[in-house]
Structure 1
Amino acid sequence: MESESLLARITDYASRPDPYPLYAELRDAGPVVRQADGSHLIGGYHEIAALLHDPRMSTDPRTRGEVTHKPPFLRLDDPEHHRLRTLAMRPFGPPHSPGRVDSLRGEIDRITGELLESFEAGRQIDIVDDFAYPLPVTVICRLLGVPREDEPLFRAWSDALVTAADVRTEDDSTEMDKAGDQARIEMGGYLLHLAEQRRGHPGDDMLSAFANEPDPALRLTQEELAETAVLLLIAGHETTVNLITNGSLTLLRQPDQLDRLRREPELLPRAVEELLRYEPPVHMRERVPHADMDIAGTRVPQGASVILVLASGNRDPRRFHDPDRFDPTRPDNQHLGFGSGIHLCFGGPLARVEAYAALGALLPHLGTARLVEDPPPYRQNAMLRGPRHLPVRL
């Protein structure tokens, strides 16, 4: 089926506070909905899940000749993706071991406690600027070995890169793409310089581990190190900010569930999984077929843009009972909040630990807080959707 305006309406900033009615329209329109620009939208859970595991679908922008430099492993296909992702994971420790993420739990709790010291009764605070942003930024800076005082520098680069990576109705540009390319080069150079400073003088951080890898077979090239470090720094905080902020907003809007979590804090891990389904930090991912292929009865040509609307799949009534209801006890919650397949979110374990700590610490404050604006102002980005500010009165 073809719908000329659906993607434009979804990406329209006016839809940012509540895109879910448009996602329902997408699911009703058919398994595959072709847009006027030649892209194809897919909003059903089962179709999305199958395509996330389909090796015929590429994440590499070079498939369409869009870039000449090697992208980060998030946008590479196997076997390149597998090699770089494996090398990037080495400093975290062996798969399924406690590793570096668990070792950060104490520090995450400490940072959380310090941020909450300014939360005084009667004060208006911004959940984003005062809490949800500084927490994951401080953690990822500690993990990578990036000076926290350089945050204003990499925040500007991060904003430019995230803006350039957003889903757009036209592949036109220019100024956003140029700004993104420039930010990628500058940020990569900055992180390479930090890594070089650690060569021969390692600290307990990931840049030191990358720069001092003794085995040539396991060593990242300069280009690979720069791209990997940029990806880890951005992905290490952007999505977690949305997860914590969307979670806070959801609980403030649903005081009965908030009260329940305050009474039964043991439900918090399941509540975080439900938030990843109900209000995920990432709403869309793009794929490109390596060759012509049939998707749910629709012929999709090689090189076409296929936009998997993960947040729509998470609300698909064919997969989830009463999907528009937030239920922290929901059983069998195999959501798409972190994607699936070989590109399952690299930072998912860290994001979960941060969300448990953040929301658990916020619960006592949210119980007596009220929203100053509802809906709050949202970020421009349709793919990484979340409030830009979340002002509340304590």
Structure 2
Amino acid sequence: MTGAIADDLLTAQASADPYAVFDALRRDDPVHWSETHRAWLVTRYADVSAAFANKAFSNDRVRPVLAKQQARRAESGEAADRPATASERVLALMSGWMVVSDPPVHTRLRKLAAGAFKGQRIAVMDAQITALVDELLDGFLAGAGEQDLISEVAYPLPATVIATMLGAPPSDRDLFREWSDELALVAFGTGGAARAERHERALRGLNEMDAYFRGLVAQRRAEPGEDMLSAMMSTDESDDKLSDDELVAMCALLLFAGHETTTNSIANATLALLRNPDALAALRADPSLLNPAVEELLRYDGPIKVINRWVVAETELAGRTISPGERVHLVLASANRDPEKFTDPDTLDLTRSPNPHVAFGKGIHACIGAQLARMETRIAVGRIVERLPGLALAHEPVWKDALASRSMETLVVTH
């Protein structure tokens, strides 16, 4: 039965609309071994939730891949002193990120970073983000004819916010965007023609980014400010502080995770509203719907399709035995459309309550920047709805063939 199920998430059809594939997997084989992806695809809400709490599914998922690559090289008889490949060097740099670690390492890093993500620190950014959105929309409105809402609004906004948060000049946002794109080639499993060169491109971006953030860390150590980087340097734990290497890794993680996911959230939300004109009209008529609308938009077509886990102990999930050394793809986008959890899951209901979606993960690894991502999405979507009453889709969007992210290349509209 399992061999007959279409499970390639990187086809053009699945990239454009993965939900038919997810529906079939949930119905016919909800914990499915995919030969295509060499991983288990977990698609039901209950199973995804159980997996988040299962210690057999490790978030320390970069180091094992690096170790496998190094072992294969050793088995092939390559000289031990041969320089590491681009892929190995990229994985080595990413292996120190908090988001790919387990307790106790993860617990320590998250605790030391938590001060920079305090609710009150994020809340005071509301006016600043609103001003940035309005500035971008001013430029967008100055144009005529068909325009790409992603390149003009959804793409530059998070990069500018992150640059400001880290105390970097907003003019450096183009660098931030470039580095984020290079990292996405590896982290989100991009397919197609980019596959062969993605590690070389990502390595160049990582090296440039590492040098930049080391300079910024040195500057903030000498001259602390009110920015998030300075906040991560100060802690109540007098005997434990983030090292320079850890601070650089935190900056890289904030840049990558904060940029890609927020861009996708804004773009996907706008497209969902354009394709559901009744919901768009309701939001225009009643702006108080904005907060629940953002939660529903995140559930309906969120920024991340898949989160990966590495199996470290034999375990069972929905009657399937999963073995150490295997990979598991927790399909968040499928869990968020599970009819056993959500009534009429394929319907965009801006008043849906409760709405326990897993767009930002769950448990100890839930996204530390979720509050900021929600704020940026809420403000951007709210201002787009208010300031672009004539917004209309000009062409069907072009979707990226990425395994993990739910992202468009372009969203061409008229206003």
1:40 counterpart SS class: strand
Q: 1:168 Cα deviation (Å)?
A: 6.9
**Pair 204,147 (structure 1): closer, same or farther in 2 beyond 3 Å:** same
**Pair 43,188 (structure 1): closer, same or farther in 2 beyond 3 Å:** same
Name 1:17's counterpart in structure 2. 16
Q: Deviations over 1:301-345 (max 9, x none)?
A: 101010111100111111111111100011221001111111111
Aligned pairs (5 A) from 1:114-193: 114-118=135-139, 119-120=141-142, 123-167=145-189, 175-193=197-215
**Pair 349,360 (structure 1): closer, same or farther in 2 beyond 3 Å:** same
Residue 56 (structure 2) pairs with residue 56 (structure 1): yes
Q: Deviations over 1:159-207 (max 9, x none)?
A: 121110124799xx86423433443233122111111122221122122
Q: How far apart in 2 are the matches of 1:364 and 1:227?
A: 38
Paired AA for residue 377 in structure 1: V
Q: 1:227 Cα deviation (Å)?
A: 1.1
Aligned pairs (5 A) from 1:148-297: 148-167=170-189, 175-211=197-233, 217-297=239-319
Paired AA for residue 317 in structure 1: P
Q: Could you tell me whether the CA contact under 8 Å between 1:17 and 1:378 is conserved in 2?
A: yes
Q: How far apart in 1 are the matches of 2:355 and 2:215?
A: 43
Q: How far apart in 2 are the matches of 1:357 and 1:294?
A: 42
Q: 1:228 Cα deviation (Å)?
A: 1.0
Q: Could you tell me whether the CA contact under 8 Å between 1:33 and 1:42 is conserved in 2?
A: yes
Q: Could you tell me whether the CA contact under 8 Å between 1:4 and 1:35 is conserved in 2?
A: no
Residue 130 (structure 2) pairs with residue 112 (structure 1): no
**Pair 324,128 (structure 1): closer, same or farther in 2 beyond 3 Å:** same
Name 1:79's counterpart in structure 2. 104
Q: Could you tell me whether the CA contact under 8 Å between 1:200 and 1:212 is conserved in 2?
A: no
Q: How far apart in 1 are the matches of 2:221 and 2:285?
A: 50
Residue 380 (structure 2) pairs with residue 379 (structure 1): no
Name 2:378's counterpart in structure 1. 356
Output the aligned Cα RMSD: 2.2
Aligned pairs (5 A) from 1:18-33: 18-33=17-32
Compute the TM-score of the two structures, normalised by the length of structure 1: 0.91
**Pair 190,141 (structure 1): closer, same or farther in 2 beyond 3 Å:** same
Q: How far apart in 2 are the matches of 1:261 and 1:120?
A: 25
Q: Could you tell me whether the CA contact under 8 Å between 2:392 and 2:414 is conserved in 1?
A: yes
**Pair 338,325 (structure 1): closer, same or farther in 2 beyond 3 Å:** same
Paired AA for residue 59 in structure 1: N
Name 1:390's counterpart in structure 2. 411
Q: 1:354 Cα deviation (Å)?
A: 1.0
1:33 counterpart SS class: strand
Q: 1:365 Cα deviation (Å)?
A: 3.9
**Pair 4,233 (structure 1): closer, same or farther in 2 beyond 3 Å:** farther
2:147 counterpart SS class: strand
Q: 1:211 Cα deviation (Å)?
A: 4.6
Q: Could you tell me whether the CA contact under 8 Å between 2:48 and 2:335 is conserved in 1?
A: yes
Name 1:324's counterpart in structure 2. 346
Q: How far apart in 2 are the matches of 1:179 and 1:29?
A: 39
**Percent sequence identity over matched residues?**
37
Paired AA for residue 92 in structure 1: F
**Pair 33,159 (structure 1): closer, same or farther in 2 beyond 3 Å:** same
Q: Could you tell me whether the CA contact under 8 Å between 1:196 and 1:211 is conserved in 2?
A: no
| Most deviating of 153-162 and 18-27 | 153-162
Compute the TM-score of the two structures, normalised by the length of structure 2: 0.87
2:3 counterpart SS class: coil
**Pair 200,18 (structure 1): closer, same or farther in 2 beyond 3 Å:** same
Q: Deviations over 1:345-371 (max 9, x none)?
A: 111101111111111111134431221
**Pair 307,139 (structure 1): closer, same or farther in 2 beyond 3 Å:** same
1:308 counterpart SS class: strand
Q: 1:297 Cα deviation (Å)?
A: 0.9
Name 2:44's counterpart in structure 1. 44
Q: Could you tell me whether the CA contact under 8 Å between 1:3 and 1:33 is conserved in 2?
A: no
Paired AA for residue 235 in structure 1: A
Aligned pairs (5 A) from 1:94-109: 98-109=119-130
Q: Which 5+ residue runs of structure 1 have no aligned equivalent?
A: none
